[in-house]
Amino acid sequence: MKLLTKTLLNRFGAVGRQEESADPLVIAKFFNPTGAGTWYATEFDPDSKEFFGFVSIFGDHNDEWGYFSLAELESYQGKFGLGIERDLYFDEQRISEVVPGAKL
């Protein structure tokens, strides 16, 4: 499965940068199906191929906002050879709805 489709790429472009928003819109959600890790992408730069968003590895005080690359997500191999997946059933939501307390 492709993590970033043309439809998602177009949507990230339409939404654009959200640094002025206290409650940015999460466009895509990625997760590790065999372990820890959830990435909530609010922005994507097609030149650097990097996302910006909220990263929750263990669901604790280490969760933070930051950049993560498409290449890193695509190259990860976890248990049973499974990689990072995009949540196909995730609908766009404000970060406050997805991760309360994760405001920028």
Using CA atoms, how far residue 2 sits from 6, 9, 96, in Å, is 10, 12, 27
Residue ranges of the domains in the chain?
6-16+24-98
Q: Are 53 and 39 in contact (CB under 8 A)?
A: yes
Query: For 29-69, what is each residue's pLDDT tens digit?
Result: 999 999 899 999 999 999 999 999 999 987 777 899 999 99
Q: Are 85 and 31 in contact (CB under 8 A)?
A: yes
pLDDT grade for 1, boundaries at 50, 70 and 90 = low
Q: Amino acid letter at 45? A: D
φ, ψ for residue 66, nearest 5 deg: 175, -175
Give percent of the chain above pLDDT 70.
97
